Structure 1
């Protein structure tokens, strides 16, 4: 007997226990997206790219002491943008949010950054001020915007043959409810590869020809041009289901299938692809079900990042740094 699964799209802030804030510099084309955790959580991570820019991600390893994370930071700026966490730490310390160690409160913050220094103003990177402001924005607990906002402000795709052959991308948020299970995905799509509709295989963004009139396939050009490490797709999965840290690491790994269905090529040495996964609730569910759903929802979030980040060529070409 076939059982129909009723999947209902919900707002991202319907997932209890997290608040999202964003800050961006539209002219410099870079920004920060912060997730503040209001509840105890268990986190995991899957790093499949060859060049991640990250901070404190080892806190999510099942081999380290298990502690609840206070904030997740995604940003532009490559390694320079990792200073955005300083502002998040200051914010959390001021709010007395963190791990109690003696008389001190130690906020636990993890971060990953994309390389967006070839668009906008490469001399302006996310800093502590921008990270702090993103936390202040999270106080409003509004529905986070997809597109060229936060960490997705300077995101681009299809960069193998240079920025003048690439396209604008951004950040995507999407969440669903299946019965009592809630799962959401946020993703900053900043890939060397092309973006595909995971349902049909059709290319929807990426490498274009010289006069920008049609798509080309990045994977077919790899034989002639080696990629450089100026790319990273960052994602985070959130669920109200109860899992351990080790199980969330497995769910993060399973969610990688969502990248594989939607980005081609992906997980290269020229990418810093990273997926976070967090349990923020107590619903009971099978890990295989949640991991599979996470992969599909991640693919949906990738499509949303593309569809909300369209930019006219004349404006886009003026913004890139050749």
Structure 2
């Protein structure tokens, strides 16, 4: 049990083990895993979430290609031990966990190591003028701000609508509150957010409201699946085309669309997040993902489950300032 409680700040002589996030010795205990351990798990579970796994096939393109790091902070030996086939992940270097009943097209979960992409110090100093100073004498604080950006859909669909100047934008981008969406290197903007302490900028983490939930939060992603399931129809699924003559969404044969739509709708209609997770695991895609993660956790030890925070439902997205007895400032 002692090894299960190791924090990220101590016991540095023990290598290749899962650590909890670094914290002060007097901070409340947590089972949140370190970022490096989470990245190692993503090399097996892919970047596809449990919700998205019900909608798309897991292919090699669903895995992280590389991680950018400052060259001065790259330890080739440490990175190989943490992520590479020559370290703790080595026993997973074989294809595994195809979708049950699926067509073998190279789909499924498998250990897919990413590349470490070092950036020269000169480039870092030029681009990030306010980065962490190399001198130990200069104090700095860790950042609590995250920037989230996605490109707009590449093709127009029912989720896009024309703006005043005739351009089309995804309807979800309207949540940003901007009348005109910016471009990034010529790419149209879809979703973009600034998240501070887990809440969208402009909302307080001490008094969370539905509008302050990030699109990457568990509630928003579950709610997005529910909204999508309500808009789906078997005829729409059949019109998507699988590109192999079978018809329908890729991996779904002709005539199976109605049952697939019904199953996704049933999963998304769960009464609580705990029930939602159980419903996902009852699907072939959910079972394949779970088996892959269980195999990965056999080498990522000790991986102590972080459980208990799943007794809420989608009604949390309906909480507003009035529920907290607050009046919004104008």
Please indicate, yes or no, whether the TM-score normalized by the shorter chain is above 0.5. no
Structure richer in helix, relative to its length: 2
Give the number of the structure with larger relative contact order, counting CA–CA contacts within 8 Å between residues 6 or more apart.
1
TM-score range relative to shorter protein: under 0.3
TM-score, normalised to structure 1, is 0.27
